[in-house]
Chains A and B, each alone.
Chain A
Amino acid sequence: MELIKIQVTVNGSKEILDVPPNLSLLNMLRENLALTGTKSGCEAGECGACTVLLEGEPVNSCMVLAVECSGLSVETIEGLSEKEAMKKLQNAFIDLNAIQCGFCTPGMLISAFALLKRNPDSSDEEIRMALLGNLCRCTGYERIIDAVKKAARN
């Protein structure tokens, strides 16, 4: 397959990559850049485990092609973990035991991060809506929602 040259800013650093046209952003991150904090749970846009920020907005990276990201900026859990607002969320998740197997956690945190950036005093209902696309099979969600509220308060 013919490769296409793209330039993407990932967590602030410029990456120049030759990618096949059908490569997903998810696989670009995981396979080409070994940024494995972004998880794959369905590759059909149905679970949210692969959530990253594209130009600051949360997207399911399995549903975005790498070539579509040329010239754009992508932030993953690895990069976002440096930000104060993300640290607050992470600490709240940790304090409230909102993490079990941890597979949904990076995507969950990024969806929550994007929500709080947009609307720091989100209501319960808004938090639930924002996390609707992020499946978690372990925790029962309650603690995740409480953690987002806690991070918003701090």
Chain B
Amino acid sequence: MKVETNIPELIGKDVQRVDVQDKATGTAIFTDDVQFGRNLLYARIKRSPHPHALIKSIDTSKAEKLPGVKAVATGADFPKRIGLYLKDKHIFARDRVRYVGEPVAGVAAVSEEVAESALDLIDVEYEALPAIFHPHEAIKPDAILIHPDLGEYEVANFIFPKADTNISNHFKVRKGDPEKVWDACAAVVNRKYYIPHIQHVPLETHVAVAKVDRAGKVTLWSSSQSPFAQRDLIAKALGMSPGNIRVIANYVGGGFGCKAGLTMEALPIALALKAKGHPVKLRLTREEEFYTNFVRQALAIELKMGCDKDGNILALENTMYWDGGASTEYGVNITRAGGYSCTGPYDIPHVKADSYCVYTNNTIGGPYRGFGMSELHTGIEQCVDELAEAIGMDKVEFRLLNAVQDGDILATGMKMHPTGIKECIEKVAHAVEWGKPSEPCAPNKRRGKGIAAMWKAPAMPPNPGSSAIIKLNEDGTILLGVGGQEIGQGAFTVAAQIAAATLGVPYEPIRVIGPVDTDYSPYEWQTVASRLTWSMGNAVKEAALDTRRQIFEIVSQAWGEEAKDLEIIDGVVISKASEREIPLKDFAVYGIPKNNFEGWIGGPIYGRGKFMPNYVTGLDKDTGQGERAVVHYTTGAQAFEIEVDLDSGKIEIIHAVSAFDVGRAINPDLVRAQMEGGIVQGISSTIFEQMIFKDGQMQNPNFVDYRIATTMDLPKRIESIIVEVPQDDGPWGARGVGEHPMVPTIAAIANAIYDAVGIRMEGPPFTAEKIFTHLKMKDI
């Protein structure tokens, strides 16, 4: 495919977001804002207090008798296993519980209070089992099996569980032979890192409302990144047809991955099936949000990396143990992504990587902005820094020398496409005046600069589809339907820009149809993987081209002209041959009369488009080799200047710079907004965030003890730089960038801390306390 070079005016323009008038006035409807009237029931969930135990019995009889209780459900009612890539969980635990917080029973009642009191009346008898909280423990040969039936689970054909172990996926990469080249290396570093669990912390907690009508049709209103995938997963879990399930997804108050797939949404459905006709609402408390749904799984990573005396990286051995938690239905694919991207954005001839997804009795790991890449790059990018230092080479120069380039054969055998990574590295280095020492503001402070590069590919099955529809209204306004979700990133706005630019109409008359509704919206796999601008964008473009074809057909017939002479400018069809013109509104629905009242031409116009990548290949189970592992990689870099306070260990961020190669920025200010929000979320995960567990129970499930960045924690200066090396199959070359801005952050700050005070830590968060302790250990 060739990148289009003819760029319409609306592409690259900072138009106003389609959703902000409603969001600024409090009229935007989020799921919890939908009104259901007096028939609404409230659900509460009885959860496991044990990290690992057998369920001996559940007695719900007392709860059922409590006045106001309308339905009680347990695992006995729902035998089918569910999961996206590996079917390893149930709606409610059945014979055993595997993490603290796992749903065991649910109650729907006339109020939350009644539902809550009913939970106390449910008696569950457990027999505690030994529990495992670290992947290193879980892989020991004598470890207790968390899923003894793993070998029987249904699994996607690119995931490789090992029966009779706690390993639910082992992804291998074998390229060249690292063993042969270690001796030839001028420097080799061996390092271990541990990146702990964090949570997404969307401001809006998960909420879902389910209703089942008398005929059995299910309607679900949910705060979801994935209404279509949810519909499919619910259908499989309940043995229903997707055609009998409708998911309506209003605006999402922050997702970052945790509202992808199917998690708590199945619970109100289970209850609604037993209280037909009643809408049943389940809204997670902040505490439940922290540890009963998806979290970012922890990673224990071991790296060995070597380079020659000129700085060429020769070999990498990368062993990753992902703490998948009690269910890895989604996490197995994070392990796979960690595997095929194991080198970071570098060209390395000899690679051996083993990426293990490991069951533990921790809370469930799931997709989190970056899908494993923040964790992976935290290790890779610190090793790269150390290697450069070991051979006495500048760290920026070292990265430029080794960065992946067009035509490189990657660790999986895929050929790299054109990428702007070098430009990104150069630009961020330049912005922080790399190489120029800066003076701390006080004698007890030290300044340092750090850099990290990154890459990330959309991680998904080989065939995730997108589609779009366009309808013309009587007045020439245009309805655009997409199944991708607006989760704050600006997806609806970008879709509207692409539609308008392709059609040849102004941006203002485009109306994006919302909320996304699986009965009325066109299909979209999921709003994940930074894939919408690219994939949904292609579908929107095709729908707009289809609409144009229909418009030209009508007008060319009416005017007796050739379609190739027609153009649409500012919503008016113009003939280059005859110079005739007609605004869309004059014929959009009713058509054009023929001469002398001899009838009519045209009719309602309805364009459609779709996109699905068809070139991603499978990878060999034993070597990870295949022709094309992924659709593409978005690359980028960040650089930081920081100041460490030697008396307290506190770090202050003086300057934070991002540069990402987005192929083509459809709306540059929205791209910068993603970079800014991402880098601050990254900083928050670097300095503050960690879920603290004791025997599997989270100790800090609130905003006082689990601190996220506030207005007082901002860098003094944030800079965001857009690089554009077009993608051959993106709309005008566009690639996604939603996740990438927090991927290199931990590593870049770690490298800056090292530059300032010479310490390296096993992993984030780099709290003042931790830094202070390390400073003391080194007598600084």
Contacts and interface: CB of A to CB of B under 8 A. Distances in A.
13 contacts: A30-B33, A36-B26, A44-B702, A101-B251, A103-B204, A128-B711, A132-B712, A137-B254, A138-B203, A139-B676, A140-B677, A141-B709, A142-B714
Given A41-B204, A42-B703, A135 B708 contact: yes
Contacts of B27: 37, 78
Q: Which 3 A-B pairs have the closest CB atoms?
A: A37-B26, A102-B23, A103-B253
Nearest to A80: B26
Interface of B: 14, 16-17, 19-30, 32-33, 35, 200-205, 251-256, 285-286, 487-490, 669-670, 673, 676-681, 702-704, 708-712, 714, 718
A41 B30 CA distance: 12
Interface in A80-129: 81, 90, 93-95, 97, 99-106, 109, 127-129
Given A44-B703, A102-B28, A143-B676, A137 B201 contact: yes
A131 interface: yes
A61 interface: no
Nearest to B710: A132
Contacts of B19: 99, 102
A99 B17 contact: yes
A39 interface: yes
Given A34-B35, A47-B203, A97 B253 contact: no
Given A44-B703, A140-B677, A101 B202 contact: yes
A131 B711 contact: yes
B610 to A, nearest CB: 27
Given A41-B286, A101-B254, A140 B714 contact: yes
Interface of A: 30, 34, 36-44, 46-47, 49, 76-78, 81, 90, 93-95, 97, 99-106, 109, 127-129, 131-132, 134-145
A137 B488 CA distance: 10
Contacts of B23: 99, 102, 105
B24 A101 contact: no
B286 A100 contact: no
A152 B714 CA distance: 21
Given A36-B29, A49-B203, A140-B678, 9 more contacts: A36-B32, A41-B205, A47-B203, A97-B669, A105-B23, A132-B711, A139-B677, A141-B711, A142-B680
A128 B19 CA distance: 26
Contact of B26 (A38, A138, A140): A38
B676 A140 contact: yes
Contacts of A127: 711
A137 B256 contact: yes
A46 B712 CA distance: 15
A145 B488 contact: no
A103 B25 contact: no
Contacts of A95: 16
Contacts of A101: 202-204, 251-255, 487-488
B251 A102 contact: yes
Nearest to B203: A103
Contacts of B205: 41
A93 B24 contact: yes
A100 B488 contact: yes
A109 B24 contact: yes
A77 B681 CA distance: 27
Contacts of B285: 43
Contact of A77 (B26, B203, B489): B26
Contacts of B200: 137
A154 B25 CA distance: 19
Contacts of B255: 101
A105 B678 CA distance: 18
B26 A76 contact: yes
Nearest to B207: A40
Contacts of B251: 101-102
A43 B283 CA distance: 12
Nearest to B493: A97
Nearest to B672: A97
Contacts of A30: 32-33
A137 B708 contact: yes
Contact of B32 (A40, A42, A93, A132): A40
B670 A102 contact: no
A125 B679 CA distance: 21
Contacts of B22: 102
A99 B677 contact: no
Contacts of A106: 26
Contacts of B703: 42, 44, 46-47, 135
A119 B293 CA distance: 42
Nearest to B676: A140
Contacts of B30: 36, 39, 103
Interface centre among B35, B255, B680 (most CB of A within 10 A): B680
Contact of B673 (A47, A100, A102, A135): A100
B26 A43 contact: no
A137 B711 contact: no
A97 B670 contact: yes
A47 to B, nearest CB: 6
Interface centre among B24, B201, B253, B703 (most CB of A within 10 A): B24
Nearest to A130: B711
